[in-house]
């Protein structure tokens, strides 16, 4: 087995396990930490796909900023201990499980495991190392996707303002 | 088996997505629900990157960048809302907020 | 100024009386009502008389007047108009209804004098309404309008029987009359439907002339149409088995009994059969049924009348019996004879009832003959007029009843029905017997009432005695319009007036087996005299027997009753027919109604369907509102469920 394969399998299993733990943990802090691990696994998976830049971004922004924010709010609202309302399971749980399994089963039955994309993108022949490199992404970002880039910046501004307004104390 | 193909990554993406969905459906703690949403977004990111690298389209990678950015914005606003919810009702139980009832 | 244009006045005048008496009755007081009520009927009689004279001035073939008031129904193939026909048959009936009706209206003004203003007005409103409906019935030119009048008189009968409705028994009697009539009416309607299906019309002018060509003689269509129509007649004219309402109808005021249940309404069935003779000629089997039921009813009712103690009940059963005679007459295709008896019966039966009313009035409501007696000196006018009527109904010549009854008996014999003749003869004897029993018990012998009643004995006022006298005269001479050739020729060629008058209507009768054509025989068989003598002899026998049993030896009837206890009980309980009907019809029907009410109406419809629908809607809304619980997890689950569904469809669909 190649190194990539081993890396993939290890990372995949850990990611799935940890995301399951995120979803099933009673303690919110534990959930947050598991989620961080999941993000790291995903970053590793990005690396196996040769998109190193995105792996880096994933770790910095997602695992670094967003999860810190989550942890911050958890601590702020004093949710560090298991909450009473999360203990019981409802019939809804069974429905959700059935739907979820059905979703994956449907996709697997449709041949997701052996999927080979038939379309060819514009940069088809480019070697993956170059494709996933920072220069490539930057070039695309500041030329072809310049407008979405600006809009996203605006979006972040709006989100910031919104967050401040929403979380402000009532006078 | 030793060859990891597109299909493997996609299946992993689907599984992670499902786990996220189940989390959203099942949990009643708003913050956990949010985290499950983040899992879903990440699964989508994985799918994007897989496709981008396999068919040779940079658009997928740029998309992932934007998703991460938007996810950040969404997390900020969402958590602000949760804080406001907590201030209002002293709880983050999603079932307590039934004002949209009927 | 053609006479035909005034036809509508005849029914319209009583209708105007209804409106005035009904709406303004209280305003114009008893005096006003007693002028308007009889007055409009008298005016109608005048118009009817004028129409009659107009008819008689014409040639026999041209004796038809008609007027269409308006087109009532024009629906596709079906047409029925409110149109009146004045021909020999209907003119006779019109004169009887308005003439006798007028006399009874006048009498009522005296009889109902003690009513309060509102009741008085109500009475005359109903009586006028009855006259209107009866005139519509006899003057209609199609079966549907006839049926309207038919129903109308049924309604008025109900209203008038239960006139003193505060006594529950009276209201119940009215209900009984209406419901039993309804059964007959159902048959009538079926007959009309069948007629329309066969002929495409219900007008006399369309149905009757073409009956011979459309219907096959003796065929099923003719049979069923005539049978169903006859069912209606059985109900309205109180024959077996639908006669049970008539004795109970005596609960109404006595003038009502005279008018409705003697002279006019109950004769509607006879009129209808006579009018439909063209149809009945095509169904000889039904004619046999008619004659059979008529004869049987005549005898049957006479036996019951023999033991009744209430004076009005005796007269009621007498009416049923005489109606049986009329049906016997039309049943042997002697239509003119049946109508003739209808006319004479109107005279003497109305007189009998009015006389009884006079007696009841004098004794302040006493109707039990065992408490009457010896009233001859106290009520002279009543006495003599009642005597005339009783002799007439017994069939003593030369009074009215003899001619009409004898004509029927002769025609029954002549048409080859000796059994029917024998039944008719026996009934004639019984009739004389029980009618003179009534007469002797009421007017002769010792007075059996209370001392207080004796003190208040007085003859009735002129408003009551004058009509009695007029009817008395008619009972004496009324039969002379129908003198049979057997006597008429002996008297030097006196014609049978009524028979020839009605000839244009009945001329095409294809009655089989008569030795006399309807036009009248020119040779009188000697058997006719023998039969005539037989009927007179039987009547005299009855009178003498009555005299013996109830005058000379009054204790005898009681002893006979004790000796023959079982037959006496059967008779006085009217053959237990009411009890029989109660067990067979009324009780099951009540049970069915109760079932329909509790199970079907309350349980099924109210509970299951209406309540159930409500409950289903409520349940469904409860289930549906769970969708909008406000609980976010539920919303998201459904959302995701939809996504999966779309995915599956997209992948595999």
Domain count, chain B: 1
For C501, the domain range is 142-509+524-572
Q: Do B102 and C633 touch (CB under 8 A)?
A: no
Is residue B102, in this structure, part of any structural domain at all? no
Tell me the pLDDT tens digit for each residue of C632-642. 778 888 889 99
Q: Residue C615: enclosing H or E segment and its boundaries?
A: helix C612-625
Residue B45: predicted pLDDT: 95
Cβ B59 vs Cβ A142: under 8 Å: no
Q: What are the CA-CA distances from residue C259 to residues C145, C161, C578 (Å)?
A: 22, 12, 25
Is residue B101, in this structure, part of any structural domain at all? no
How large is the average pLDDT for residues C398-425?
Answer: 87
Same domain assignment for residues C638 and C566: no
Residues of A with Cβ-Cβ distance to C652 under 8 angstroms: 106, 109-110
CA pair distance C296, C11, nearest whole angstrom: 35
CB pairs under 8 A between B and C: 30
How close, in Å, is residue A1 to chain C by CA atoms? Answer: 33
- The last residue of a domain, from among C538, C555, C572: C572
Same domain assignment for residues C583 and C568: no
Domain count, chain A: 2
Number of residues written out for chain C: 653
Least confident interval from A12-26, A87-101, C511-525: C511-525
CB pairs under 8 A between A and B: 261
SS3 state of residue C71? strand
Domain count, chain C: 2
Is residue B75, in this structure, part of any structural domain at all? yes
CA dihedral C314, C315, C320, C326 (to 10 degrees): 140
ipTM of the complex as predicted: 0.89
Same domain assignment for residues C529 and C625: no
At A87, the pLDDT band (50, 70, 90 cuts) reads low
Residue C190 pLDDT greater than 90, yes or no: yes
- What is the sign, positive or negative, of the torsion defined by CA atoms of C273, C275, C278, C279? negative
Is residue A66, in this structure, part of any structural domain at all? yes
Tell me the pLDDT tens digit for each residue of B6-58. 888 999 999 999 999 998 888 888 889 999 999 999 999 999 999 988 888 88
- What is the model's pTM? 0.70
Same domain assignment for residues C274 and C206: yes
Where are the extended beta strands (E) located within C148-242? none
If we measure between CA atoms, which residue out of C473, C395, C386, C476 comes closest to residue C438? C386
Same domain assignment for residues A77 and A142: no
Q: Do A115 and B10 touch (CB under 8 A)?
A: yes
Is residue C56, in this structure, part of any structural domain at all? no
CA pair distance C47, C66, nearest whole angstrom: 14
Is residue C305, in this structure, part of any structural domain at all? yes
If we measure between CA atoms, which residue out of C633, C44, B50 comes closest to residue A86? C633
The percentage of chain A sitting over the pLDDT mark of 70, rounded to a whole number, equals 94
Least CB-CB distance to A54: which of B8, B64, B81?
A: B64
Cβ C307 vs Cβ C572: under 8 Å: yes
Least CB-CB distance to A106: which of C634, C641, C644?
A: C644
Same domain assignment for residues C499 and C584: no
Residues of C with Cβ-Cβ distance to A106 under 8 angstroms: 644, 647-648, 651-652
At A154, the pLDDT band (50, 70, 90 cuts) reads very high
Tell me the pLDDT tens digit for each residue of C581-592. 888 888 888 899
Classify burial at C540, counting beta carbons within 10 Å of its beta carbon; exposed 0-12, middle 13-18, buried 19 or more.
middle
- What is the sign, positive or negative, of the torsion defined by CA atoms of C390, C396, C399, C401? positive
Is residue C69, in this structure, part of any structural domain at all? no
Residues of A with Cβ-Cβ distance to C639 under 8 angstroms: none
How close, in Å, is residue B98 to chain A by CA atoms? Answer: 15
Strand partners, B93: B29
Is residue A87, in this structure, part of any structural domain at all? no
Number of Cβ atoms within 10 Å of the Cβ of B99: 7
Same domain assignment for residues C582 and C499: no
Half-sphere exposure for A138 (CA within 13 Å, toward CB):
6
Q: What is the CATH number of the domain that holds A70?
A: 1.20.120.1200
Is residue C136, in this structure, part of any structural domain at all? no
For B90, the domain range is 6-96
Q: Residue C84: enclosing H or E segment and its boundaries?
A: strand C78-86
Least CB-CB distance to C632: which of B21, B94, B102?
A: B94
At A83, the pLDDT band (50, 70, 90 cuts) reads low
Tell me the pLDDT tens digit for each residue of C196-218. 888 888 888 888 888 778 777 77
Same domain assignment for residues C320 and C176: yes
Same domain assignment for residues C454 and C586: no
At A40, the pLDDT band (50, 70, 90 cuts) reads very high
Q: Do A95 and C652 touch (CB under 8 A)?
A: no
Q: Which of A110, A112, A115 is the best residue to mutate to test the C interface, defined by the most C CB atoms within 10 Å of its own CB? A: A110
Same domain assignment for residues C566 and C586: no
Q: What is the CATH number of the domain that holds B41?
A: 1.10.287.3510
For A14, the domain range is 1-82
Residue C521 pLDDT greater than 60, yes or no: no
Angle at C33 between CA C32 and CA C36, to 5 degrees: 90
A109 in contact with B at a CB cutoff of 8 Å? Answer: no
Residue A90 pLDDT greater than 80, yes or no: no
Same domain assignment for residues C154 and C194: yes
| Chain A 40-79, residues with CB within 8 Å of chain B CB atoms | 42, 45-46, 48-51, 53-54, 57-58, 61-62, 65-66, 69-70, 73-74, 76-77, 79
Q: What are the CA-CA distances from residue C400 to residues C285, C294, C344, C521, C533 (Å)?
A: 31, 21, 6, 22, 16
């Amino acid at each position: 087995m190649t190194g990539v394969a081993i890396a993939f399998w290890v990372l995949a299993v850990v990611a799935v396990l940890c995301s399951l733990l995120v979803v099933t943990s009673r303690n919110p802090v534990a959930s947050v930490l598991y989620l961080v691990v999941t993000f790291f696994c995903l970053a590793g998976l990005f690396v196996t796909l040769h998109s190193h830049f995105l792996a880096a971004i994933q770790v910095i922004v997602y695992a670094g900023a967003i999860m810190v924010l989550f942890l911050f709010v958890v601590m702020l609202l004093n949710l560090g201990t298991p909450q009473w309302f999360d203990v019981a399971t409802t019939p809804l749980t069974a429905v959700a499980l059935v739907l979820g399994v059905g979703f994956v089963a449907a996709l697997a039955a449709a041949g997701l495991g052996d999927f080979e994309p038939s379309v060819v993108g514009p940069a088809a022949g480019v070697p993956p190392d170059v494709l996933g490199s920072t220069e490539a992404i930057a070039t695309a970002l500041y030329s072809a996707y310049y407008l979405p880039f600006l809009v996203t910046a605006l979006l972040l501004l709006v989100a910031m303002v919104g967050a401040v307004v929403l979380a402000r104390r009532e006078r | 088996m030793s060859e990891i193909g597109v299909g493997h990554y996609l299946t992993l993406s689907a599984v992670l997505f499902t786990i996220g969905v189940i989390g959203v459906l099942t949990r009643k703690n708003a913050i956990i629900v949010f985290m499950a949403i983040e899992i879903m977004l990440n699964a989508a990111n994985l799918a994007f990157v897989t496709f981008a690298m396999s068919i040779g389209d940079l658009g997928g990678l740029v998309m992932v960048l934007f998703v991460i950015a938007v996810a950040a914005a969404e997390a900020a606003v969402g958590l602000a809302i949760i804080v406001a919810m907590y201030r209002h009702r002293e709880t983050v139980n999603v079932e307590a907020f039934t004002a949209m009832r009927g | 100024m053609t006479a035909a244009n005034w036809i509508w006045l005849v029914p319209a005048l009583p209708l105007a009386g209804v409106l005035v008496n009904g709406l303004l009755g209280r305003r114009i007081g008893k005096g006003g009502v007693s002028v308007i009520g009889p007055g409009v009927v008298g005016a109608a009689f005048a118009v009817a008389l004028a129409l009659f004279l107009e008819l008689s001035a014409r040639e026999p073939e041209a004796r038809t007047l008609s007027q269409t008031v308006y087109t009532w129904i024009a629906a596709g193939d079906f047409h029925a108009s409110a149109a009146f026909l004045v021909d020999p048959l209907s003119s006779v009936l019109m004169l009887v209804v308005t003439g006798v009706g007028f006399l009874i209206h006048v009498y009522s003004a005296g009889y109902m004098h003690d009513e309060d203003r509102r009741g008085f007005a109500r009475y005359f409103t109903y009586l006028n309404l009855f006259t209107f409906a009866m005139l519509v019935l006899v003057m209609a030119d199609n079966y549907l309008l006839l049926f309207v009048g038919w129903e109308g008189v049924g309604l008025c009968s109900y209203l008038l029987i239960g006139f003193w409705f505060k006594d529950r028994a009276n209201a119940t009697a009215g209900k009984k009359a209406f419901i039993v009539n309804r059964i007959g009416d159902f048959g009538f309607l079926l007959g009309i439907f069948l007629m329309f299906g066969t002929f495409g019309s219900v007008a006399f002018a369309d149905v009757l002339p073409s009956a011979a060509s459309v219907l096959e003689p003796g065929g099923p269509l003719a049979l069923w149409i005539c049978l169903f129509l006859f069912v209606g007649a059985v109900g309205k004219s109180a024959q077996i088995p639908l006669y049970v309402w008539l004795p109970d109808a005596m609960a109404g005021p006595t003038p009502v009994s005279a008018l409705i249940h003697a002279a006019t309404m109950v004769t509607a069935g006879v009129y209808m059969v006579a009018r439909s003779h063209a149809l009945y000629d095509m169904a000889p089997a039904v004619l046999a049924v008619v004659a059979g039921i008529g004869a049987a009813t005549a005898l049957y009712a006479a036996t019951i009348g023999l033991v009744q103690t209430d004076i009005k009940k005796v007269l009621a059963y007498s009416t049923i019996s005489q109606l049986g005679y009329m049906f016997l007459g039309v049943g042997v295709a002697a239509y003119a004879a049946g109508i003739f008896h209808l006319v004479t019966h109107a005279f003497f039966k109305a007189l009998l009832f009015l006389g009884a009313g006079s007696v009841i009035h004098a004794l302040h409501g006493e109707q039990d003959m065992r408490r009457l007696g010896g009233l001859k000196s106290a009520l002279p006018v009543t006495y003599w007029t009642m005597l005339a009527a009783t002799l007439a109904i017994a069939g003593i010549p030369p009074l009215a009843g003899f001619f009409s009854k004898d004509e029927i008996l002769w025609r029954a014999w002549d048409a080859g029905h000796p059994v029917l003749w024998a039944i008719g003869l026996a009934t004639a004897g019984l009739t004389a017997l029980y009618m003179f029993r009534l007469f002797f018990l009421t007017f002769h012998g010792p007075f059996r009432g209370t001392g207080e009643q004796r003190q208040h004995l007085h003859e009735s006022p002129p408003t009551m005695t004058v009509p009695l006298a007029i009817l008395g005269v008619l009972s004496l001479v009324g039969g002379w319009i129908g003198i049979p050739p057997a006597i008429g020729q002996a008297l030097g060629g006196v014609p049978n007036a009524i028979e020839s008058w009605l000839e244009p209507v009945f001329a095409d009768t294809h009655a089989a087996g008569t030795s006399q054509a309807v036009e009248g025989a020119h040779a009188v068989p000697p058997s006719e005299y023998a039969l005539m003598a037989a009927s007179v002899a039987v009547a005299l026998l009855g009178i003498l027997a009555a005299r013996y049993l109830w005058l000379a030896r009054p204790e005898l009837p009681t002893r006979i009753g004790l000796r023959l206890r079982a037959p006496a009980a059967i008779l006085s309980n009217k053959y237990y027919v009411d009890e029989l009907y109660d067990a067979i019809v009324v009780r099951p029907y009540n049970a069915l109604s109760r079932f329909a009410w509790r199970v079907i109406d309350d349980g099924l419809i109210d509970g299951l369907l209406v309540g159930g629908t409500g409950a289903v809607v409520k349940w469904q809304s409860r289930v549906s509102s769970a969708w909008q619980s406000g609980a976010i997890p539920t919303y998201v689950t459904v959302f995701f469920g939809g996504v999966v569904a779309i995915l599956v469809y997209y992948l595999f669909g």
